[in-house]
Amino acid sequence: MLEKIKKIGVLTSGGDAPGMNAAIRAVVRSCSYFDVECVGIYRGYQGLIEGDFEVLTARSVRNIINKGGTFLKSARSKEFRTVEGRAKAFQKLKDAGIDALVVIGGDGTFTGAIYLEDEHGIPIVGIPGTIDNDINGTDYTIGYDTALNTVVDAIDKIRDTASSHDRLFLVEVMGRDAGDIALNAGVGAGAEEILIPEEDMGVERMMESLEKSRKTGKTSSIIVVAEGEKSGKNIFELAEYIGEKMVDYDIRVSVLGHIQRGGAPSCYDRVLASKLGVGAVEAVLRGESGVMVGITNKIVTSVDFNTAIKGTRPLDKELRRVLTITTV
C-alpha cells in the first residue's frame, strides 16, 4: 500500500474551528517530509466536486499556524450528499492523480467520507476539527480548547458589568446537543449555574438555587446556558420566565454566538493539530483508511469513522459535581 500513495488531498469541511490551519500546515509539511505531493482542496466537498484544487508546498503554509478559520475554506454541499455528486468528486480526484484524502471536520465530514470511501475505495483519514468536542475516539477535538478560552474571557468581561450593577446574566454558549462547553466554561468562569441539555436544562433547580443565593445576599449571578435545549425555552424566553418569578431581579441576556468559532488558536490546539496532522499523513502512508486520528491520553490513535460519529459522549459528572461544590 505504502508505495502507491504519491499524492494526498486535504480539505476542511463543516463549521470552522481555530487550529484547522495548524492541522492543514502539519498535513502539508508531513507530505513534504515524506516526499508525497499535497493538494489543497478549497471549500470542502463542494470544492472537491468542482475540482477547486491547488498544489501546496511547505512554503504555502508559512505563518498560518496562528490564524483562526481555515484558509482552504469550508462550505456545505448538497450535491455531495448524492451518489452522483460523490461520483463527480471521485472523478476529479482521479483526474488530479490524488491517491488519498485527509478530511478535517466533524461528524458531517466523516459521514461524507464514509460514503465516498465505500463507493469509490479511495483511502480517507479524518482529523477531528470542531469546537463542539462531540466526537468519539479522541479526548479533545481541535478548536475546543480555544473556544473555551474565548467563552471564559467573554464571561470575565460580563462579570465586570454584572458585579458593577448587581445583575443576573444569562450567557448563551454553543453546544446544541452537548453541554461540554457550558459545563467547562461555567466552572472556568465561576458561573453560579449552568443549563445544559443533558440535564433537561434544569430550570426549576436553577430557580431554587437563585432563590437561595438571593437570601444569602448574593447580588450578581452568571448563568451559562447551552444553546440547544430540550426544555423548549430559548434564552430570551428563559429571561422572561425568570423575570416573572423574581420581579426585583435585573436580568440581562448575552448570546456569545460566532465569536466562539474564531480567534488565534491556543497553544494546546496548535500542538494537538500539529500532532494529528502528522498522525493523519502517517496513517495514510501506513495504509489505514476509514479512520479518524484522535488523541487518547496524549497518544495519537486511530478509530474507525463509524465509531467516531456514533453515540453521544456522557457528561463529565465529576466536573458537574465540582461546579456544584465550588458555587456554594
Residue with cell 461544590: 325
Q: Is 209 in the site for its own copies (CB under 8 A)?
A: no
Of 135-154, binders to its own copies (CB under 8 A) are 139, 145, 148-154
- The only residue of 7, 36, 50, 75 in contact with its own copies, by rule CB under 8 A: 75
Catalytic residue among 132, 134, 145, 269: 132
Rule CB under 8 A: choose which of 7, 51, 60, 69 binds its own copies. Answer: 69
C-alpha–C-alpha distance, residues 185 and 133, integer Å: 13
Is residue 92 near its own copies by the rule CB under 8 A? no
Rule CB under 8 A: is residue 11 a binding residue for its own copies? no
Residues 6+ apart with CB under 8 A from 133: 140, 141, 144, 178, 180, 181, 313
Residue 120 CB, nearest distance to its own copies (Å)? 27
Which part of the chain contacts its own copies (CB under 8 A), choosing from 11-19, 93-101, 204-212, 305-313?
A: 11-19
Residue 107 assigned to a binding site: yes
Write out the three cell numbers for 213.
443565593
Minimum CB distance to its own copies smaller for 91 or for 324: 324
Q: Report which residue type is found at 299.
A: I
| Residue of 142, 89, 141 lying closest to 112 (CA atoms) | 89
Non-local CB neighbours of 45 within 8 Å, separated by 6+ positions: 11, 13, 75, 77, 80, 85, 89, 112
In single-letter form, the type of residue at position 105 comes to: G
Q: Say whether 132 is catalytic.
A: yes
Residues 32, 34, 36, 42: is their CA dihedral positive or negative? negative
Supply 206's cell numbers: 436553577
For residue 26, say whether it is annotated as part of any ligand binding site.
yes
Q: Which of residues 255-314 bind its own copies (CB under 8 A)?
A: 255-259, 261-264, 266-268, 270-271, 274-275, 277-278, 297-300
Show which residues are catalytic. Answer: 132
Residues contributing to the annotated binding site for substrate: 130-132, 167, 174-176, 227, 252, 258-261
Residues contributing to the annotated binding site: 15, 25-29, 76-77, 106-109, 130-132, 159, 167, 174-176, 190-192, 218-220, 227, 252, 258-261
